[in-house]
Amino acid sequence: MAAILHKFVDADQWEAEDTIGRLGILMHAAFLSAGFETYGARPPFGHLLLRRACEATGSLCLWRLYTAPQLAHRHGADAAVLVVCAQGSEIALLMFLTAGDSDWTIGAYLELLHTDTVAPLLSRARLGDAEPWASRVCRALADGVCSGLLTELCRWNGLVVTSLAPLPDDTVVEILRRLPDAEDVARVESTCRDMRRVVAGRDGELWKPSSESEEEEEGVEVRRRWKEKFVEARPRRWDEDGFFRLRFRREFDFDLEAYFALRSSLRLRGCLRDSPEQDMVLTKGESSGDRRRRNVAMTRDNHKNKWRGAGTGAIHSPSSRYRWMHR
Amino acid sequence: MEVDKGKGEAEETRKVAEADRDTVTLKSSDGKLFEVSKEAAARLSTVLAGMIAGGSIDDNGTDLKQIGSEALENVVDYCNKHANSIPSAALISSSISFNTAPFKEPEEWERKFVDRLSHDALFDLVEAANFLGMERLLDVTCHKISEMMKGKSPDQIREVFNIKNDYTKEELEEIRQELAWAFYDD
């Protein structure tokens, strides 16, 4: 299996982190590998995750937001949240969506680890020494829980999983030819390189006005200018040059610190302590000190419209999933 | 020689029997079988018309390995609905495209047919229509997708059609300047 970690992490970033930081890096790479994009607040230069340490309790919280590429430009888009929380020898991994019509905790993925479990792999100073196992873990997480979260995020937002890319150019052109306005074609053209290539390659079909006769077309040079001719000939609006604006991706100023003040790490740890023992299973082939939930919580009982699986029912959530947006 | 002759006769008989049937059986990539009227298949799909004329239709199900069962079910559904529909008099689009000759507007039932599809099913159907050479179905599905693009900003189009913005900042700036006229209300 090809090592995928190096696509998302460089050796210096790996070496600069301790065991918990490297676990965070592994999770971060799994999210990106699954097709997520980072979203919202950015970590300090040189780091991949944001962090908050509490000296009084000795706890450390690493976190970051991710969303589907199609939603990355939105302000306040639905997102997936990754939290790695460590205190003493216990590590909690928490992943959940801010999307959906039910309480976020119901679909959350929670895994409890012991430092003894992760140390043999993640304490190796060099990234190369941790391979290929680190990439295997990363791939398993990407194909499992992260991919499930992304699919669910897309589903909640009505996004297509397929795209225009696999369609033959002829079909894409047929779609574009049916657009009523030239502005629509230009906007599609500006979405990505492939669309620009298709539009540029079919200049005559897309931009040539129906009133122009075939006889006016003289060779390749003229054919290439249909779009320019169209732009020159089109009626102009008085304000279009002065007020041109293109919406760029805006930073989503999500203050997770305040968000977690609602359900502090104390509460999270309380949840870990209070979890009924019968819900926890020993993971096959791993240290007996490592308690974890058995499954990824990305399945849904359609008839009940509820999440099923490793729900974190013991975590008490506020009534609103979007509380931070209304502060 | 006699055996070959016998085989040839059997083949001939099978072809005659197939020619007498009113339907053709199509097999999706995942092995599901669908029956469709031979007349409708030949009229709506240039590829199936060629296969019927050439006698390459398999009685046990003609393999269409490029088309999944959901898309093929929609293709057959469209053929059946088309056979039962009454063509409307208003054939030419009232909303003429800015650059070309007007297209034939979808009929009311055709609109309803594509409106009920999920985005993914619609894309699969476009590909199936393209593969089978179904000009009218391609027309209807392309019209629907163009309606989904109409009036949207580049970001919204990327969002709806799962397009990744792979431009560099410099390229994006260049496009902003070149296509400024298209973004005045963005």
The CATH number of whichever domain residue B93 belongs to comes to: 3.30.710.10
| Cβ-nearest to A180 among B138, B150, B160 | B150
B interface mutation test: which of A39, A67, A70 has the most B CBs within 10 A?
A70
Is there a domain that residue B173 lies in? no
Section A132-159 average pLDDT: 81
pLDDT at A317: 38
Range of the structural domain that residue B18 is part of: 2-150
- B28 closest CA partner among B55, B84, B67, B80: B67
Structural domains counted in chain B: 1
Residue of A nearest to B127 (CA): A167
Q: Between chains, do A188 and B149 touch, taking CB under 8 Å as contact?
A: yes
Closest-CA distance, B172 to chain A, in angstroms, reads: 8
Residues with Cβ within 8 Å of A123's Cβ and at least 6 positions away in sequence, in order, are A19
DSSP B102: P
B interface mutation test: which of A36, A160, A228, A229 has the most B CBs within 10 A?
A160
pLDDT at A153: 84
DSSP string, B22-67: SEEEEE-TTS-EEEEEHHHHHHH-HHHHHHHHTT---TT-EE-TTS
Helix A169-177 crosses helix B119-132 at what angle (to 10 degrees)?
Answer: 110
The ranges assigned to domains in chain A are 5-159+251-318, 169-233
pLDDT at A274: 39
Please tell me the least confidently modeled range out of A25-29, A207-211, B56-60: A207-211
Closest-CA distance, A313 to chain B, in angstroms, reads: 33
B interface mutation test: which of A75, A174, A196, A241 has the most B CBs within 10 A?
A174
Is there a domain that residue B95 lies in? yes
**Residue B67 to residue B65: CA distance in whole angstroms:** 6
Q: Could you tell me the pLDDT band of residue A227, with boundaries at 50, 70 and 90?
A: low
Given a contact cutoff of 8 angstroms between Cβ atoms, the answer to whether B118 and B131 are in contact is: no
Is there a domain that residue B68 lies in? yes
pLDDT at A183: 84
Is there a domain that residue B178 lies in? no
Long-range contacts of the stretch B36-43 (C-beta < 8 A, 24+) = B36/B75, B36/B76, B36/B79, B36/B80, B37/B79, B37/B80, B37/B83, B39/B83, B40/B79, B40/B80, B40/B82, B40/B83, B41/B79
Residue A92 or A258, more confident: A92
Given a contact cutoff of 8 angstroms between Cβ atoms, the answer to whether A11 and A127 are in contact is: yes
* ipTM, two decimals: 0.81
Please list the rounded mean pLDDT of every run of 10 residues in chain B (186 residues). 53 55 87 90 90 83 86 92 66 50 78 87 89 91 91 86 85 85 62
**Residue A154 to residue A175: CA distance in whole angstroms:** 24
- Which positions in chain A touch B175 (Cβ < 8 Å)? 189-190, 196
pLDDT at A286: 34
CA atoms within 13 A on the CB side of A48: 28
Closest-CA distance, B59 to chain A, in angstroms, reads: 31
> Is residue A18 over pLDDT 50?
yes
Residue A292 or A18, more confident: A18
**Residue A155 to residue A209: CA distance in whole angstroms:** 40
Q: What is the pLDDT of chain A when averaged over all its residues?
A: 67
pLDDT tens sequence across A279-299: 333 233 333 333 333 333 333
pLDDT at B90: 46
Q: How many CB atoms sit inside 10 A of residue A282's CB?
A: 13
- Evaluated on CA atoms A9, A14, A17, A20, the torsion sign reads positive
**Residue A246 to residue B155: CA distance in whole angstroms:** 9
Q: Between chains, do A177 and B97 touch, taking CB under 8 Å as contact?
A: yes
pLDDT at B141: 94
DSSP A4: -
**Residue B98 to residue A210: CA distance in whole angstroms:** 8
Given a contact cutoff of 8 angstroms between Cβ atoms, the answer to whether A82 and A63 are in contact is: yes
Of all residues in chain A, what percent carry a pLDDT higher than 90?
Answer: 7
Is there a domain that residue B181 lies in? no
Is there a domain that residue B176 lies in? no
pLDDT at B105: 78
Given a contact cutoff of 8 angstroms between Cβ atoms, the answer to whether A11 and A126 are in contact is: yes
Is there a domain that residue B185 lies in? no
Is there a domain that residue B125 lies in? yes
